[in-house]
Amino acid sequence: MIVAEKNERKIIETNNQQIIIEFKNVYKSFADNTVLKGFNLSVKKGENLVILGRSGSGKSVAIKCLVGLIKVDKGEIYIFNTDITKLNEYELNKVRMNIGFLFQNGALYDSMTVKENLAFTLKHHSKYLNQNEIEIAINNALEDVGLKEAIDKMPSELSGGMKKRIGLARALIIEPEIILYDEPTSGLDTITSREIDELILEIQKKRKTTSIIITHDLACAKITGDRILIIRDGVIYAEGNYESLKNSDDNWVRSFFI
């Protein structure tokens, strides 16, 4: 195992494949409900990893543990070879600055224009940028999602697909190495969903991002996923590409693709 450094970020490299994210034997319970039960996961650099699972299987809890919104009961979570479960809030925020999060509903501030939403996020993460640098970053992020013309619009003026794109622009504006997608196509029609799927692939190619995509949308999983994991009872139950899982000998795994 070799530990490599890039921009002061430590990355595990095993068999010439860099591991950016790693869960090791993670447990998380809420009262008497144990959601994660020895959860193990690794995500390679530049990979789009899709996570499928029934409601309540632990998908969203795992992601929230990853960014420190939920504290684990037991186990370790490594990002850039740093165990984030051992970090204080200041140290954790430094790690979060390398992570973009596309929320399920876009989570835009209703009282701010698109430009103000993006500027707010950027100023929070990069306090030393001048106004010209902020303007350039906003324009670049909107160009990446194909919505430069929406810069002065209010969220109420945006369609569901546009809100998703602006939410992604907000995630991209901090230039993260990791992007977390929470149900990126939920509530969208088939055509708009396909556009979002293709945009996820474009971002991966252009920005060399490493991503975890939580979805119930099989079309999204098929298009965007380099690898697909299925969670059952708080652990990874099955792993593979779309076709191998769809044609699995396991009836429960195949049931996802019916």
Concatenated DSSP letters for 18-87? EEEEEEEEEEEEETTEEEEEEEEEEEETT-EEEEEE-TTSSHHHHHHHHTTSS--SEEEEEETTEEGGG-
pLDDT category of residue 4 using cuts at 50, 70 and 90: very low
pLDDT above 70: percentage of residues in the chain: 92
Confidence at residue 108, expressed as pLDDT on a 0 to 100 scale: 84
Q: Is residue 166 predicted with pLDDT exceeding 90?
A: yes
- Alpha-carbon separation of residue 171 from 11, 79, 120, 237 (angstroms): 22, 18, 12, 30
Q: Is residue 189 predicted with pLDDT exceeding 80?
A: yes
What is the C-alpha separation between 246 and 202, in angstroms, rounded?
25
Confidence at residue 5, expressed as pLDDT on a 0 to 100 scale: 35
What is the pLDDT averaged over residues 121-126? 79
What is the pLDDT averaged over residues 197-205? 94
pLDDT category of residue 162 using cuts at 50, 70 and 90: very high
Mean pLDDT over the full length of the chain: 88
What is the pLDDT averaged over residues 87-95? 92
What is the pLDDT averaged over residues 47-57? 91
Q: What is the dihedral of CA 206, 198, 45, 247, to 10 degrees?
A: -150
Minimal CA–CA distance to 1: which of 42, 49, 40, 50?
A: 42
Confidence at residue 55, expressed as pLDDT on a 0 to 100 scale: 83
Q: Is residue 21 predicted with pLDDT exceeding 80?
A: yes
Confidence at residue 2, expressed as pLDDT on a 0 to 100 scale: 29
